[in-house]
A and B are shown apart, each in its own frame.
Chain A
Amino acid sequence: MSLKERIGAFLCTCGKTLGRSLSIEDLKSQALRLPGVFFCQVHDALCQEDGQAFLKEQIQSFHPDGVLLAGCSPRGHGALFQRLISQWGLDGEALEVVDIREGCAWVHADNPDVASAKAQNLLRMGWAKLSRKELSRDASIPLLKSALVVGSGPAGMAAASAMAGQGLRVYLVEKDGTMGGWLRRLSFLYPSGDEGANILQRLKQEIEPSLLITVFLEHEIAGARGYVGNFQVHLRGGEGPKTIRAGAVVLATGAQPLVPQGLFNYGELKGVMAQEELESQLLRGQNLGGTTAFIQCAGSRIPQRPYCSSICCPVALKNARLIRLRWPQSRVFLLYRDMMAPGVDLEHLYHQAMDAGVRFLRYSPEHPPLVEGMDCVQRVKVLDSLSGRETALEIDRVVLSTPLLANPQNAELAGMLSLLTDDYGFFCDRNLLEPNRTVTPGVYVCGTSRWPCSVQEAILQGQAVAASVAALLRAQRAKASDFGVLDGVKGWPAVVNESACSGCGNCFQACPMKAIGLQPFDGRRVARVNKVRCTGCGTCATLCSGGAIQTQSLSDSMAIKMIQEAFK
Chain B
Amino acid sequence: MTGSALIIGGGVAGIRASLDLAGMGIPVHLMEREPFLGGRLLQLDRLYPTDHCAWCPVWPLLRQVGSHPLITIHSSSEVHSIQEEAGAYQATIVHLPTYIRGERCTGCGECLWACAKKSTVAGREGPLPILRPNSYVIPKVFAINRNLCGECPGCQEECPFGAIDFKMPQETRLLKIGAVILASGFDPGRLEGLEEYSYGAHPDIISAMDFEAWIAESGPNAGQVLRRSDGQKVERLAFVLCAGSRDRRFHEYCSGVCCMYAVKEALWACQRSRDLWATIFFTDLRACGKGFQEYVQLAEETGRIQFIRSRPGRIQPMGENGALRVLYEDTTQRNTREMIVDMVVLAQPIIPAAGSENFASLFGVDRGRERFILLPDDKFLSPATSQSRVLACGCCQGPADAVQSVISASAAALRAAEILAQRRAA
Interface residues of A (CB under 8 A from B): 14-17, 44-45, 47-49, 72-73, 75-76, 79-80, 83, 102, 106, 158, 162, 165-166, 189, 192-194, 199, 202-203, 301, 306-310, 313, 338-348, 351, 364, 385-388, 422, 426, 429, 431-436, 450-451, 456-457, 459-461, 463-468, 470-472, 474, 486-489
Complex Cα distance A166/B259, Å? Answer: 39
Complex Cα distance A464/B417, Å? Answer: 12
CB within 8 A of A45: which of B57, B106, B408?
Answer: B106
Would you call A435 and B406 a contact (CB within 8 A)? yes
B218 contacts the other chain (Cβ, under 8 Å)?
no
Would you call B381 and A48 a contact (CB within 8 A)? no
Q: Sorted from nearest, which 9 A-B pairs have the closest CB atoms?
A: A471-B23, A15-B160, A464-B410, A463-B411, A192-B377, A467-B414, A451-B290, A338-B284, A344-B253
* In the complex, chain B residues whose CB is within 8 Å of the CB of A162: 414, 418
Would you call B332 and A364 a contact (CB within 8 A)? yes
CB within 8 A of B252: which of A76, A347, A386, A466?
Answer: A347
| Interface flags, B126-164, vs A, CB<8A=1, else 0 | 000000000110001000000000000000000011000
CB within 8 A of A14: which of B108, B140, B377?
Answer: B108
CB within 8 A of B161: which of A45, A193, A385, A456?
Answer: A45
Complex Cα distance A74/B155, Å? Answer: 26
* In the complex, chain B residues whose CB is within 8 Å of the CB of A433: 12, 16, 57-58, 61, 402-403, 406
| Interface flags, B203-222, vs A, CB<8A=1, else 0 | 00000000000000000000
CB within 8 A of B398: which of A339, A344, A465, A486?
Answer: A344
Task: Known A-B contacts: A433-B12, A487-B60. Give 20 more (CB < 8 A).
Answer: A14-B108, A15-B108, A16-B160, A45-B160, A76-B135, A166-B414, A192-B380, A307-B293, A308-B288, A309-B288, A342-B257, A342-B288, A344-B372, A386-B331, A431-B57, A435-B403, A459-B380, A467-B411, A471-B23, A471-B24
Interface residues of B in 241-297 (CB under 8 A from A): 246, 252-254, 256-257, 259, 284-294, 297
Complex Cα distance A463/B290, Å? Answer: 20
Would you call A436 and B293 a contact (CB within 8 A)? no
A-B contacts, 14 listed (Cβ < 8 Å): A72-B106, A80-B67, A166-B414, A199-B380, A339-B286, A342-B286, A343-B253, A433-B16, A433-B402, A435-B406, A460-B408, A467-B21, A467-B414, A488-B60
Complex Cα distance A489/B63, Å? Answer: 9
B95 contacts the other chain (Cβ, under 8 Å)?
no
Would you call A344 and B288 a contact (CB within 8 A)? no
Complex Cα distance A84/B256, Å? Answer: 45
* In the complex, chain B residues whose CB is within 8 Å of the CB of A345: 369, 398
- Shortest A479–chain B CB gap in Å is 16
Closest to B257 in A: A342
Would you call A435 and B407 a contact (CB within 8 A)? yes
B316 contacts the other chain (Cβ, under 8 Å)?
no
Interface residues of B in 1-47 (CB under 8 A from A): 12, 16, 19-21, 23-25, 47
Would you call B402 and A432 a contact (CB within 8 A)? yes
Complex Cα distance A75/B107, Å? Answer: 13
Would you call B403 and A432 a contact (CB within 8 A)? yes
- Shortest B235–chain A CB gap in Å is 28
* In the complex, chain A residues whose CB is within 8 Å of the CB of B418: 162, 165
B366 contacts the other chain (Cβ, under 8 Å)?
no
Would you call B293 and A487 a contact (CB within 8 A)? no
Most chain B beta-carbon contacts within 10 A, residue among A80, A199, A436, A463? A463
Would you call B380 and A194 a contact (CB within 8 A)? yes
Would you call A344 and B369 a contact (CB within 8 A)? yes
Closest to A465 in B: B410
Would you call A488 and B63 a contact (CB within 8 A)? yes
Closest to A463 in B: B411
CB within 8 A of A15: which of B161, B403, B413, B417?
Answer: B161
- Shortest A204–chain B CB gap in Å is 12
- Shortest B247–chain A CB gap in Å is 11
* In the complex, chain B residues whose CB is within 8 Å of the CB of A463: 382, 410-411, 414-415
- Shortest A23–chain B CB gap in Å is 18
B358 contacts the other chain (Cβ, under 8 Å)?
no
Complex Cα distance A44/B23, Å? Answer: 36
B50 contacts the other chain (Cβ, under 8 Å)?
yes
* In the complex, chain A residues whose CB is within 8 Å of the CB of B357: none
> In the complex, how many residues of chain B place their beta carbon closer than 8 angstroms to a beta carbon of chain A?
78
Complex Cα distance A313/B286, Å? Answer: 11
B383 contacts the other chain (Cβ, under 8 Å)?
yes
B104 contacts the other chain (Cβ, under 8 Å)?
yes
* In the complex, chain A residues whose CB is within 8 Å of the CB of B84: none
Complex Cα distance A47/B104, Å? Answer: 9
Would you call B284 and A432 a contact (CB within 8 A)? no
Would you call B106 and A342 a contact (CB within 8 A)? no
Closest to A199 in B: B380
CB within 8 A of B293: which of A83, A308, A387, A434?
Answer: A308
Would you call A193 and B377 a contact (CB within 8 A)? yes
Closest to A202 in B: B381
Would you call A464 and B381 a contact (CB within 8 A)? no
Would you call A339 and B380 a contact (CB within 8 A)? no
On whether A306 and B253 interact (CB within 8 A), knowing A14-B106, A166-B417, the answer reads no
Complex Cα distance A308/B286, Å? Answer: 10
Would you call B402 and A76 a contact (CB within 8 A)? no
| Interface flags, B288-308, vs A, CB<8A=1, else 0 | 111111100100000000000
Would you call B253 and A199 a contact (CB within 8 A)? no
Closest to A73 in B: B135
* In the complex, chain A residues whose CB is within 8 Å of the CB of B410: 436, 463-465, 467-468
Would you call B286 and A340 a contact (CB within 8 A)? yes
B64 contacts the other chain (Cβ, under 8 Å)?
yes
| Interface flags, B400-426, vs A, CB<8A=1, else 0 | 101100111111011101100100000
* In the complex, chain B residues whose CB is within 8 Å of the CB of A436: 407, 410
- Shortest B345–chain A CB gap in Å is 19
Most chain B beta-carbon contacts within 10 A, residue among A15, A16, A456, A465? A15
Would you call A44 and B160 a contact (CB within 8 A)? yes
* In the complex, chain B residues whose CB is within 8 Å of the CB of A346: 254
- Shortest B336–chain A CB gap in Å is 15
* In the complex, chain B residues whose CB is within 8 Å of the CB of A47: 106
* In the complex, chain A residues whose CB is within 8 Å of the CB of B58: 433
Complex Cα distance A470/B290, Å? Answer: 26
Complex Cα distance A16/B368, Å? Answer: 56
On whether A460 and B370 interact (CB within 8 A), knowing A432-B403, A433-B12, the answer reads no
* In the complex, chain A residues whose CB is within 8 Å of the CB of B414: 162, 166, 463-464, 466-467, 470
Would you call B380 and A432 a contact (CB within 8 A)? no
- Shortest A500–chain B CB gap in Å is 35
Closest to A193 in B: B377
* In the complex, chain B residues whose CB is within 8 Å of the CB of A432: 47, 50, 52, 57, 402-403
Complex Cα distance A17/B105, Å? Answer: 13
Complex Cα distance A192/B376, Å? Answer: 9
On whether A460 and B383 interact (CB within 8 A), knowing A346-B254, A466-B414, the answer reads yes
CB within 8 A of B290: which of A75, A165, A351, A450?
Answer: A450
Complex Cα distance A202/B381, Å? Answer: 9
On whether A341 and B67 interact (CB within 8 A), knowing A48-B106, A199-B381, the answer reads no
* In the complex, chain A residues whose CB is within 8 Å of the CB of B61: 433, 487-488
